[in-house]
């Protein structure tokens, strides 16, 4: 039996979507350190299939990937699952203001620039409401 305390303190599930195994591994380490149950996908098509199988609480999403890019995934996920689930943090090298606006308008809740470190990603997870304020 799962106690209510463990359910309340667990941040839930997070799908890390990036075509770079190194980035997925680094993000996994940070997320698991905060108690997330982490799964991975190498592109947007894999991510959409993973969401259909088990919708995660959060998605850490790269923009530039083969097969299906991050924005295409984001638009498909919003059309299929709605505007609020999963919480999407776009994590990319795209730094132009127009690209950031495009991502937010497509339904991303937060936007983080690569390269990121634990402090930067933790702050974005707090801003997205995925972690409590006292995590820093």
The yes-or-no verdict on residue 28 having pLDDT over 80 is: yes
- Residue 100 token pair: 């950031």
Report the pLDDT value the prediction gives residue 136, as an integer from 0 to 100. Answer: 63
Question: For the chain, which domains are there?
Answer: 14-129 (3.40.50.2300)
Which tens digits make up the pLDDT trace of 33-89?
A: 999 999 999 999 999 999 999 999 999 999 999 999 999 999 999 999 999 899 999
Mean pLDDT calculated for residue range 116-120: 91
Residue 27: CB atoms within 10 A of its CB come to 25
Give the strand order in the sheet containing 87-92: 37-41, 13-17, 58-61, 87-92, 110-113
Q: How many helices (H) and strands (E) would you count in the chain?
A: 6, 5
What are phi and psi for residue 2, nearest 5 degrees? Answer: -90, 130
- DSSP letters of 2-18? --HHHHHH---EEEEE-
Question: For 112, left (φ over 0), alpha (ψ -120 to 50), or beta?
Answer: beta
The yes-or-no verdict on residue 122 having pLDDT over 90 is: yes
């Amino acid at each position: 039996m799962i106690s209510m305390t463990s359910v309340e303190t667990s941040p839930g599930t997070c799908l890390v979507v990036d075509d770079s195994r190194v980035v997925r591994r680094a993000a996994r380490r940070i997320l698991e350190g905060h108690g997330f149950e982490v799964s991975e996908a190498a592109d947007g098509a894999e991510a959409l299939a993973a969401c259909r199988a088990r919708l995660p609480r959060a998605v850490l999403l790269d923009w530039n990937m083969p097969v299906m890019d991050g924005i295409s995934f984001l638009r498909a996920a919003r059309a299929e699952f709605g505007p609020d689930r999963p919480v999407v943090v776009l994590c990319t090298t795209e730094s132009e203001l127009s690209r950031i606006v495009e991502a937010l308008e497509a339904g991303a809740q937060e936007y983080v620039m690569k390269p990121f470190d634990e402090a930067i990603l933790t702050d974005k997870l707090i801003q997205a409401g995925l972690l409590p304020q006292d995590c820093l």
